[in-house]
C-alpha cells in the first residue's frame, strides 16, 4: 500500500511540484491550500504524514497544527517555513509537530524527514504495551471545524489526562460514543480496551448482573461465578450509555462504586476493589429527571464535575460539507466503488434540513443515496423518499432562512467578503451564493 502525504501550503505551484515529486518516488500525494481544506482531507483520506506551512496566507499554520494534533492524535505533522526561527520551531514542536524544515526545501533532506516521521508513527500509533490492536479505521474520527466542537475536543483531551468521571450529554446521533472513544484513547488507560454498555438495552435485573456480576449459586441457573463489566474494565475505562434510563436502585450501586471504588457481586458477601475510569452519556435532561424523582441528585453531582455537551448538527451547519465528504469516502471504501459527488440542489436541501437525528441521520441519508444513485453525482431523486416527504421534520421556514443567512454572513466575515472563498467554504456554487445574497439583501460593508 502506498504511503499518503498531505501538503498544506497556500502556494499552488509549490503544492503541485511537491506532490508530483513525491509521487515519482512512490507516494500518493494530496494538497490543500488552506486549513479548512486540510482538515477535510485529514477526515476523508487515509493520510500518513502532513507537510504544513507555517504561514497560509492570512491563516497561521500553528492554528491548523493545533486542530490536526487535537483531532488526529497519531498523525505526524512536519512544519515548513521560510521564516524560520528558534522560537517558532520550539513552539511547533511543543504543540505536537514531529519535525521542522526550512524553505527553500532540500528535497533529499525532506524525504528523509518524511520517511522518518512515518517510521516513528508506525511504532507510536499502537503502543507496544497495548493489549489489543486497533486498525487505522477504528481510531475515533471527530469530523468538525466548528469552534464549539473544537473547544469540546480540547476540553475532552485535558479531561482524558485525569481520572475524573465524565458525563457526555447531547441529542441522539450527535456522536457521544465517538467522543467517549476519543477520551479513552487520549488517556493513560488506552493500553486496555474500553468496555461499553447501553443501559437502556437491559431490564433492571439483567443490567445489575451485567454491571456487577454474580457469584455461583446467586440464583437458579447460576452454576458459575460471573464478572460484571466493572470488574472486566479494571485498569481501563467503562462507557455507560443512556444512564438516564437506569433504575434508582442501579443508580445507587453505581454511586457507591464511584465513591468507594469497589463492587459486590450479586449473591456475594465480599467487596471487590475496581480501578475503572467512568464515562457516561445521556440524551435526557437529568435535572428534569431529578425533579420527577427518576434520577438521583447525588449521582448527578458526582458526574457534574466534568460535563461535555455536544451541540446538535443544526447548530453547526459548517460541518455538513466535511461530513458529506467523510461519509461518501467511507461508502466508497466499504463498497470498493467510485467516490460520488453531491449536486448543489442536494447540498442546499441538506443545509436547510433540521436534522433531528443529527450526524447519524446524515450518515444514513448519504449512505442510502450513494447506494441507489446510478450516476457519479447524487441528485435530489436519490435521497430517501421519507426524507423528501416529511416537511414536518424540517425547521420552520423562517428559522431555516435565519440560520442560512447567519451562516453566510459568518463565512463572508471570515473571508473579508471574498465571494469566491465564501462559496468554497460553504461548498456552494458561486451562482447559488449570489442568488442567496440577493435573497437576504446581503451586501459588502462600505
- Considering the chain, tell me which residue range(s) the CATH 1.10.10 domain(s) occupy: 397-440
DSSP string covering 62-73: HHHHHHHHHH-T
Residue 18, all three cell numbers? 511537491
pTM of full prediction above 0.75: no
Backbone angles phi, psi at 250, to 5 degrees: -65, -40
CA distance 218 to 393: 49
CA distance 411 to 428: 12
CA distance 259 to 243: 17
In this prediction, residue 400 carries a pLDDT of 59
CA distance 177 to 198: 10
In 226-349 the beta strands, taken as DSSP E runs, fall at 237-241, 262-263, 272-273, 277-282, 307-309, 341-342
Kindly list the distances between the CA atom of residue 182 and the CA atoms of 157, 230, 293, 325, in Å, as whole numbers in the listed order: 8, 20, 32, 21
Bond prior to 104 in cis (omega within 30° of 0): yes
CA distance 21 to 261: 57
In this prediction, residue 85 carries a pLDDT of 63
Residue 168: CA atoms inside 13 Å, Cβ hemisphere, count? 30
Residue of 307, 356, 29 lying closest to 176 (CA atoms): 307
Give the strand pairing for 272-273 and 262-263. antiparallel
Sign of the Cα pseudo-torsion (354, 357, 359, 360, in order): negative
Q: Which stretches of 170-219 are DSSP H helices?
A: 176-185, 204-212
Q: Does domain 397-440 have CATH number 3.40.50?
A: no
In this prediction, residue 320 carries a pLDDT of 92
Q: One digit per residue, pLDDT tens: the chain, 446 residues?
A: 788 999 999 999 999 999 999 999 999 999 999 998 898 888 878 899 999 999 888 889 999 999 999 888 779 999 998 765 667 777 888 888 999 898 889 999 999 999 988 887 754 444 434 444 444 444 567 888 888 899 999 999 999 999 999 999 999 999 999 999 999 999 999 999 999 999 999 998 899 999 999 999 998 888 999 999 999 999 999 999 999 999 999 999 999 999 999 999 999 999 999 999 999 999 999 999 999 999 999 999 999 889 999 999 999 988 998 899 889 988 888 888 888 999 988 988 898 888 999 999 999 999 999 999 999 999 999 999 888 765 544 444 555 576 678 778 878 887 888 888 888 877 788 888 888 888 888 887 75
**Residues 6+ away with beta carbon under 8 Å from 381:** none
The CATH number for 4-124, chosen from 3.90.1310.10, 3.40.50.2300, 3.40.47.10, 3.40.50.300, is 3.40.50.2300
Residue 298, all three cell numbers? 447525588
Sign of the Cα pseudo-torsion (83, 88, 90, 92, in order): negative
CA distance 231 to 191: 16
Q: Which stretches of 161-285 are DSSP H helices?
A: 176-185, 204-212, 229-232, 248-260
Whether 69 contacts 77, CB under 8 Å: yes
**Residues 6+ away with beta carbon under 8 Å from 204:** 247, 249, 250
Helix axes 248-260, 204-212, angle to 10 degrees: 10
- Considering the chain, tell me which residue range(s) the CATH 3.40.50.300 domain(s) occupy: 147-309
CA distance 438 to 423: 14
Residue 422, all three cell numbers? 465564501
Burial 35-72 (b: 16+ CB within 10 A, else e): bbbbbbbbbbeebbbbbbbbebeebebbebbbbbbbbb
CA distance 27 to 18: 11
Burial 175-204 (b: 16+ CB within 10 A, else e): bbbebbbbbbbbbebbebbbbbbbbeebee
Whether 197 contacts 310, CB under 8 Å: no
If you classify domain 314-393 with CATH, what class do you get? mainly alpha
In this prediction, residue 136 carries a pLDDT of 44
- Considering the chain, tell me which residue range(s) the CATH 1.10.8.60 domain(s) occupy: 314-393
CATH superfamily, with its number, for domain 147-309: P-loop containing nucleotide triphosphate hydrolases (3.40.50.300)
Amino acid at each position: 500500500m502506498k504511503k499518503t502525504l498531505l501538503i498544506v501550503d497556500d502556494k499552488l505551484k509549490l503544492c503541485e511540484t511537491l506532490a508530483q515529486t513525491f509521487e515519482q518516488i512512490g507516494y500518493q500525494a494530496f494538497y490543500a491550500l488552506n486549513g479548512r481544506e486540510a482538515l477535510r482531507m485529514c477526515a476523508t483520506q487515509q493520510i500518513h504524514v502532513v507537510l504544513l506551512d507555517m504561514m497560509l496566507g492570512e491563516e497561521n499554520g500553528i492554528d491548523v497544527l493545533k486542530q490536526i494534533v487535537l483531532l488526529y492524535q497519531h498523525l505526524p505533522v512536519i512544519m515548513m517555513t521560510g521564516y524560520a526561527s528558534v522560537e517558532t520551531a520550539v513552539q511547533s514542536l511543543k504543540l505536537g509537530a514531529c519535525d521542522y524544515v526550512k524553505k527553500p526545501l532540500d528535497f533529499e533532506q525532506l524525504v528523509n524527514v518524511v520517511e522518518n516521521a512515518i517510521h516513528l508513527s508506525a511504532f507510536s500509533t499502537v503502543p507496544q504495551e497495548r493489549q489489543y490492536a486497533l486498525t487505522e479505521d477504528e481510531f475515533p474520527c471527530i469530523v468538525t471545524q466548528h469552534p464549539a466542537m473544537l473547544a469540546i475536543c480540547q476540553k475532552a483531551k485535558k479531561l482524558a489526562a485525569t481520572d475524573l468521571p465524565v458525563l457526555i450529554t447531547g441529542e441522539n446521533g450527535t456522536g457521544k460514543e465517538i467522543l467517549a472513544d476519543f477520551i479513552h484513547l487520549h488517556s493513560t488507560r488506552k493500553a486496555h480496551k474500553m468496555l461499553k454498555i447501553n443501559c437502556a438495552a437491559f431490564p433492571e435485573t439483567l443490567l445489575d448482573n451485567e454491571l456487577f456480576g454474580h457469584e455461583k449459586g446467586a440464583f437458579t441457573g447460576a452454576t458459575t461465578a460471573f464478572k460484571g463489566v466493572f470488574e472486566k474494565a479494571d485498569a481501563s475505562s467503562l462507557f455507560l450509555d443512556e444512564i438516564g434510563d437506569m433504575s434508582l436502585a442501579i443508580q445507587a450501586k453505581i454511586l457507591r462504586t464511584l465513591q468507594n471504588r469497589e463492587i459486590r457481586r450479586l449473591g456475594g458477601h465480599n467487596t471487590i476493589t475496581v480501578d475503572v475510569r467512568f464515562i457516561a452519556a445521556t440524551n435526557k435532561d437529568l435535572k428534569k429527571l431529578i425533579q420527577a424523582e427518576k434520577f438521583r441528585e447525588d449521582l448527578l453531582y458526582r458526574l457534574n464535575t466534568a460535563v461535555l455537551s455536544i451541540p446538535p448538527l443544526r447548530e453547526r451547519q459548517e460541518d455538513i460539507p466535511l461530513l458529506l465528504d467523510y461519509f461518501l469516502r467511507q461508502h466508497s471504501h466499504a463498497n470498493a466503488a467510485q467516490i460520488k459527488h453531491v449536486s448543489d440542489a442536494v447540498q442546499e436541501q441538506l443545509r436547510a434540513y433540521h436534522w433531528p437525528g443529527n450526524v447519524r441521520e446524515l450518515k444514513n441519508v448519504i449512505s442510502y443515496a450513494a447506494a441507489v444513485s446510478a450516476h457519479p453525482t447524487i441528485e435530489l431523486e436519490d435521497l430517501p423518499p421519507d426524507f423528501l416527504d416529511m416537511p414536518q421534520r424540517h425547521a420552520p421556514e423562517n428559522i431555516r432562512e435565519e440560520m442560512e443567512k447567519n451562516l453566510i454572513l459568518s463565512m463572508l466575515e471570515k473571508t473579508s467578503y471574498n465571494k469566491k472563498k465564501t462559496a468554497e467554504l460553504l461548498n456552494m456554487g458561486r451562482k447559488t451564493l449570489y442568488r442567496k445574497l440577493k435573497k437576504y439583501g446581503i451586501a459588502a460593508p462600505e
